[in-house]
Each structure stands twice: as structure tokens, then as C-alpha cells.
């Protein structure tokens, strides 16, 4: 849906910080906020990557074991 409009203040933006709360920030502060958020999420992904690989290996082992049991 397209709704025409005009911005009166292009220096400030509203940031959704979660659970229905919004914070007004300058465009530069918003940029910094999202950079920090991206950095945090990237670190979290790197942190859980080994656990994901371990779970995948465990799943493969279980699938092989089930396949062997079914063939017997």
C-alpha cells in the first residue's frame, strides 16, 4: 500500500526497541544502535555455530543407527 506523505523532521527517527516500545533517536544514533545490534547478533551466531554442528553430527549418528536397526 502506498501512502503519500512529507517528512517534517528528517534528523530524528523512531527505533523499535522491542515489546512495543519505541525510542526517538537522531539518524546517526540510530545508525550506531543498529551497528551494535548487528555486531551482537553476529557474535551470538558465531557462539552457537559449534553447538549447531555438534547437534547436526548427533542427528546423523542417530539416523544411521535407526537405519541399521530397521534393516535388521
Predicted confidence (pLDDT) per residue in 4-55, tens digit: 998 889 899 999 999 999 999 999 999 999 999 999 999 999 999 999 999 9
pLDDT of residue 66: 95
pLDDT of residue 27: 93
pLDDT of residue 7: 84
pTM for this one?
0.66
Domain residue extents for the chain: 12-71
Integer CA distances (angstroms), 58 to 33, 35, 47, 62, 63, in order: 38, 35, 18, 6, 9
Return all residues near 17 (Cβ < 8 A) that are at least 6 apart: 23
- Is residue 72 scored above 90 in pLDDT? no
Amino acid at each position: 500500500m502506498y501512502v503519500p506523505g512529507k517528512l517534517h523532521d528528517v534528523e530524528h527517527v523512531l527505533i523499535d526497541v522491542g515489546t512495543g516500545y519505541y525510542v526517538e533517536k537522531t539518524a546517526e544514533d540510530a545508525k550506531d544502535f543498529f551497528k551494535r545490534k548487528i555486531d551482537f547478533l553476529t557474535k551470538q551466531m558465531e557462539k552457537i555455530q559449534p553447538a549447531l554442528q555438534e547437534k547436526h553430527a548427533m542427528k546423523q549418528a542417530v539416523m544411521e543407527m535407526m537405519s541399521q536397526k530397521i534393516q535388521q
